[in-house]
Structure 1
Amino acid sequence: MKSAVLLVTLFFVGASAQLKCPHPPSQWCTSWEIAKACQVEEQCLDYNNRKDIKKNNEQNVNVELYYECLCGGCREFLVLQLYPTFLMLHDIMNITLVPYGNAEEKNVSGKWEYVCQHGPEECYGNTIEACLVHLLQDIRSYFPVIDCMEMSPNVTGALEPCLQAHEPELPVKTVLDCVNGDLGNKLVHANAQRTQALVPPHQYVPWIVINGKHDDDLQSRAQKALFNLVCELYKGSKPDACTGKDLTPLKRESVCLN
């Protein structure tokens, strides 16, 4: 029912485009090509994000990570805390990865251009990871690839071997076509909007939001022992992994200031 309401909304948003669109509204968000042809790309990106969130268990602990791919503190949290916790507690948590961080964007002749804290290579890597999330859809597919990249000495250079190790059916060319094309540009813009809409506004990365909330205490506890925090906050029947299980806390809390 909610999907039908959204499609009606999309219909009115793209009414003028729909006159030229050969596809019915029910198909507008089924592929990037159709969304682009009907000029509802941004609406469909938002729709797919909301759909992924709603389909998850409402009792699950929601963890949103706002980060940038070359930030040392971001990589440390993702590799040492978030991914190991995901491996053990994926049934009771929902994870949202938003690669953008402290970047800045501006619209130049209808296309978004980005300046990233750690240079053009970081903008490239952020786009790669945004494309992986979009192309693979399922976090069980894209998170191992992103973790593999983030734990590598050369994050962007690790794309091909990490795909081969975890998702060999996804061609590198498909990812790069996304990265270098209109789709990748719009995906990063969507992440920029999501980051800019944070309340309170982010002051550094990694910026961690737990169940829709960010404060210093949650941030500190997540960076020290995310596993413990997720087990504590989950209101359903605790999984076996939460009984007496712990992760080694980080020795320090690293951030990249905005």
Structure 2
Amino acid sequence: MSHKFVLLVCLAVATVCSAAKVPVAVYYESLCPDSAKFITEQLYPALKSELRDVVEITFVPFGKSTYSTLGSDVTFMCHHGPNECYGNKVHACAIDKIQSDSYRLDSTRESLTLDFINCLMKAGKNFPDNVYPGQRCASESQVNWENIKVCANSTEGSALLRQAGDVTLKLKEPLTSVPTILFNEQFDSKVNKNAQVNFVGTLCRYVGAPQPRICADHNAASGLAKVSGLFTTLLGIWLLRYLF
């Protein structure tokens, strides 16, 4: 077998593996408590693990907002008020503007964006001195706040948020709850609900072999829980039958 053939096989395998990432889209709002809970408690911990290598994440910060246009002007009405409109613009601009730094080998554009969004969502709706935490989160996440701020306060931010709105409004199944999570660009109400309380377990159902260790551990834990539940049920039936 020639070295060239081995190389081609390796490249083919690498291509298949790299194409195996699961597309996950998160439709959310910047000041939505349920969005914050999902991103900070479910999504962020999962994507800081080995699962980050099997997910292609897309953030869409619009939710139940609406917009209207008058000429070149765009006016937004947001689910949690004007502050959320500004927050949504910050998120949209961050998603567009954040770039990885070549000298930071441990960070990618995706990881920096995830860190920044997680920090913003963790801040919730209450800001000390009414100061939006954009600059603080940018500093903590080591991203350029100035680029994001200029974007969010300009027509560019409005255009980016409008794009997020168009993507949301074009969903095959109209968005009825926030957050809404799509796997493989398909909406399933049961999957959406499960993902919000058990994102790792839900995601692992879509990940092909070989699965990351975290999926194997999760499957094993789920199997043990099912066996334990079955044993408890059978024990209860036995006790009812023979002791009462």
Tell me if the contact between 1:68 and 1:205 (Cα under 8 Å) persists in the aligned partners. Answer: yes
SS in 2 for 1:157: coil
Other-structure match for 1:220: 193
CA distance in 2, matches of 1:107, 1:197: 18
Q: Which amino acid aligns with 1:78?
A: I
1:148 to 119, 124, 129: 119
Post-superposition Cα deviations, 1:150-188, rounded to whole Å, max 9, x if no partner, equal 0014467211111111125x1x32211100112111100
1:128 to 90, 96, 99: 90
Please say if 1:174 is aligned against 2:131. Answer: no
Q: How does 1:176-255 map to 2 (within 5 A)?
A: 176-245=149-218
Q: Which amino acid aligns with 2:171?
A: L
**Alpha-carbon shift at residue 109 of structure 1 (Å):** 2.4
CA distance in 1, matches of 2:22, 2:146: 35
Tell me if the contact between 1:99 and 1:191 (Cα under 8 Å) persists in the aligned partners. Answer: yes
Please say if 1:160 is aligned against 2:135. Answer: yes
Comparing 228-237 with 97-106, greater Cα deviation is found at 228-237
Mind listing any 5+ residue stretches in structure 2 that lack a counterpart? 1-16, 100-108, 220-244
Give the CA RMSD over aligned residues.
1.9
SS in 1 for 2:111: helix
**Alpha-carbon shift at residue 244 of structure 1 (Å):** 1.2
Larger-gyration structure (1/2): 2
Comparing 154-163 with 101-110, greater Cα deviation is found at 154-163
Tell me if the contact between 1:59 and 1:236 (Cα under 8 Å) persists in the aligned partners. Answer: no
SS in 1 for 2:217: coil
**Alpha-carbon shift at residue 245 of structure 1 (Å):** 3.8
Comparing 125-134 with 201-210, greater Cα deviation is found at 201-210
Post-superposition Cα deviations, 1:61-102, rounded to whole Å, max 9, x if no partner, equal 211011111111111111111111111110011111000011
Q: In percent, how many aligned pairs have the same letter?
A: 28
Q: How does 1:108-119 map to 2 (within 5 A)?
A: 108-119=70-81
Mind listing any 5+ residue stretches in structure 1 that lack a counterpart? 1-55, 247-258
**Alpha-carbon shift at residue 58 of structure 1 (Å):** 2.5
CA distance in 2, matches of 1:209, 1:230: 10
CA distance in 1, matches of 2:20, 2:209: 6
Please say if 1:101 is aligned against 2:63. Answer: yes
**Alpha-carbon shift at residue 241 of structure 1 (Å):** 2.2
Query: TM (normalized to structure 2)?
Result: 0.73
Please say if 1:90 is aligned against 2:63. Answer: no
Other-structure match for 1:78: 39
2:28 to 67, 72, 77: 67
Post-superposition Cα deviations, 1:92-119, rounded to whole Å, max 9, x if no partner, equal 1111100001111000221211010110
Q: Which amino acid aligns with 1:127?
A: K
CA distance in 1, matches of 2:189, 2:25: 15
Equivalent pairs counted in the alignment come to: 190
**Alpha-carbon shift at residue 141 of structure 1 (Å):** 1.3
CA distance in 2, matches of 1:220, 1:180: 35
Comparing 181-190 with 228-237, greater Cα deviation is found at 228-237
Other-structure match for 1:29: none
CA distance in 2, matches of 1:58, 1:211: 13
Please say if 1:57 is aligned against 2:18. Answer: yes
Q: Which structure carries more relative contact order (alpha carbon 8 Å, separation 6+)?
A: 2
Q: Which amino acid aligns with 1:157?
A: Y
SS in 2 for 1:243: helix
Instruction: Select the structure that is richer in helix.
Output: 2
**Alpha-carbon shift at residue 239 of structure 1 (Å):** 1.4
Q: Which amino acid aligns with 1:120?
A: P
SS in 1 for 2:118: helix
